[in-house]
Amino acid sequence: MSITSLPLFGYHPLIQSFTILLLLQAIVVLQRTTPQQGERKKQAFSAHQWLNLLLVLPLFTAGASIMWYLHDQPGSGHFLSYHGILGTFVVVAAWIQAALGAASVWWKGKLVGGEAKGKALWKWHRLSGYVVVSLFLITAALGVLETTWGWGKSGVLQKTGVAVALPLVGFALLIRVQRSKLPKL
């Protein structure tokens, strides 16, 4: 089946899967940068912001909007699966995450009370970002492992691949976390 002949629903998993890859790239680009890498750190920070603002957030919203539209049709149920409930929650959480991240650094943190408060909030932004990406990975897994579509359209190999690959991706991301850049709990 060509991409142009897909039903509207068919774009949802394609968009969301591609966007998870973009989100992971937007995070990985910042990991392991240090203050001594001044120019590299600035470039990574800029890439992080623009990937998220121009691609990740709009694409996650577009992919979710497809499902919100389809479930708003007469006779369709709302929030029938954990995948749908968590998916809606995590898209909203991603927008809040982005707003707090932007507020903590744009205009030297003036939106949150100054540069010092912005830097303090930034550590929480980083921690909550890892939570948000984990929730996106769980949502993707639920899409294959829990939904009617996932059970009807994916075989054992696809389900096994998702069940193995997504936790590995999460683990690979988390082992790169620099705990010193997270808030003290």
pLDDT score recorded for residue 31:
81
> Would you call 29 helix, strand, or coil by DSSP?
coil
pLDDT score recorded for residue 1:
57
Q: Which residue has the tokens 């550590």?
A: 123
23 pLDDT higher than 90: yes
Question: Do 133 and 177 form a contact (C-beta atoms < 8 A)?
Answer: no
pLDDT score recorded for residue 149:
80
From 1.25.40.10, 1.20.120.1770, 3.30.360.10, 1.10.3720.10, which CATH number describes the 7-181 domain? 1.20.120.1770
Q: Please tell me which residue, 66 or 151, carries the higher pLDDT value.
A: 66
Measured between alpha carbons, how far is 53 from 106 in angstroms, rounded to an integer?
13
pLDDT score recorded for residue 66:
95
> Would you call 79 helix, strand, or coil by DSSP?
coil
Of 154, 108, 104, nearest to 124 (Cα)? 104
3 pLDDT higher than 70: no
Measured between alpha carbons, how far is 169 from 72 in angstroms, rounded to an integer?
33
pLDDT tens figures, 94-136:
999 999 999 999 998 899 999 999 888 988 999 999 999 999 9
DSSP 34-69: -GGGHHHHHHHHHHHHHIIIIIIHHHHHHHHHHHHH
Cα 104 to chain center, whole Å? 19
Global model pTM greater than 0.85: yes
Domain boundaries, the chain: 7-181
Average pLDDT of the segment spanning 154-166: 89
